[in-house]
Amino acid sequence: MAGMDKIRERFGALRDGAGQLAQDLRSRADQQGEKERDFQADLRLLKARQAVVIVALLAVFALPPVFVNHPIGYVPLVSFVLLLALSWGYLQVLKRGFLVESRFEEGSCVRGSSVLLPLVLKNRSKLPILRACPQLYVTNPYGGLEHEAQVVSVIDAMDDADLSMRVQLGHVGVYASGMRGVVLFDPLMLFHTYIDSTGHAELVSTPQSFSIDSVEFSNLALRESHAPVRTVVSDDVDYAGTRDYEFGDPLKSVHWKLSARTGDLQTRLFEENVNSSTAVIMDFHGPDSYQPEQLMSCTDVVVEIGIAVVRLAKERGMDAHLRYVNNQGHPETRELPNVAEMEDLVRTLPSLSPAVPEHAALDLVAEEMEAVNGGDNVVLCTSSLTRTSVAQVLGARAHHMSVCVVLAMPRDLVRDFYKKNSGLMSELQAADVPCIVLSDSAELQEFDSVG
């Protein structure tokens, strides 16, 4: 009963975590809606200011008829009204001949590189556009505004303006890009019209690939092979001894000479080296004190180092896989993703944040401990080292598993972390569990030994 209660408790907590993730996604959508409302409010404010200017100018030009008792006093006022009418009509002609070709499409690039946001404004009227302002934006994986541009452009009659721009994606995750519309102005800048040409697309920033060939598994306190005894006949394994013959043993495995001496059939045993397996667990529970930029930097380290370790294990001939709880709250196990699969992997990753339950990744560690075919090596990539996570890691070590912790942390917090968590670090060191603190994925390339 206690076991079932524990299972129900874990599933309940996981369900709550999934609910928190869904709430996080709704919060991002609310942020997008708030930005759109702010933009519409700015347009209303612009319209109000233009109306105030027009009224003020009309009042100024209405003064001469009051003080000059002659029809000529109305000339400035009438001229200004006609000029307003012509300028407004000019804007209507531009509006009818204006086209936007944005082609916002989903795309991807490696973290640190840039993607192209295509935007072409077309003027099909016979009048030049003196001021066109398209509103472009890019938001980061946490919904924050990463890039915003209000491009001012002059477009000749029957001409196009290519305003495409490249935007750099600095962190692993899914970005949103789009355009809120285009604002056109008349020649006097006293009127404007809003062209609703909204477009939206997701841009996926995939992990950078790091080679860590210089890193030895022994330096990570991980083992590359173990040697169980198997009763098989093979020419490339070492002789390990004999046991009494059991029904079903192949006849060619019988040790005939020894059987003749003992009077009982003896089966030869062979020792075969079997490659170890490595489970790399990515933990997306983040400290609640981190700012979005710090959380995104930690995400880069957790994901890129996780993939790099799996790649290294595969190159050494070992079985290896990635494990994590996805953005739907479900555990996932993946082999080393190729270039084509990397985008799909990123789309399933949750945002590293306190909303992700702390036990989500630690439960995966427990599963590796309990599984019959669990990994001999466990690498926990995390940004949060707590008493709970250390206890789980030490539990895995007590199960004779080789464990390594990779801790992602902003560089300016590393020194304070060592001061405040010397006890936890000492416990890991006493159990021969290395804890490698990284502020950037490339730092693992320089890693040589556990200090």
What pTM value is reported for the model? Answer: 0.76
* Structure token pair of residue 21: 């993730």
Q: How many CA atoms lie within 13 A of 91 on its CB side?
A: 20
Q: In angstroms, rounded to a whole number, what is the distance separating the alpha carbons of residues 205 and 176?
A: 11
Spatial distance between the Cα atoms of 121 and 297, rounded to a whole number of angstroms: 36
State the CB neighbour count (10 A cutoff) for residue 179.
20
| Helix/strand/coil for 61 | helix
- List the beta bridge partners of residue 407: 382, 437
pLDDT at 344: 94
Structural element, H or E, at residue 161: strand 159-162
Asked if residue 284 lies in contact with residue 360, where contact means CB atoms within 8 angstroms, the answer is yes
What is the C-alpha radius of gyration for the chain, rounded to an integer number of angstroms? 34
pLDDT tens series, the chain, 451 aa: 444 454 445 445 445 544 544 455 455 555 556 666 777 788 888 888 998 999 998 888 888 877 877 788 888 889 999 999 999 999 999 999 999 887 777 889 999 999 988 889 999 999 999 999 998 889 999 988 888 888 888 999 999 999 888 899 999 999 998 888 899 999 999 999 998 876 788 999 999 987 776 565 554 545 554 444 444 444 445 666 788 888 877 887 888 888 888 888 888 776 655 557 889 999 999 999 999 999 999 999 999 999 999 988 888 888 899 999 999 999 999 998 888 899 999 999 999 999 999 999 999 999 988 875 555 889 999 999 999 999 999 999 988 888 999 999 999 999 999 999 999 999 999 998 999 999 998 887 665 433 3
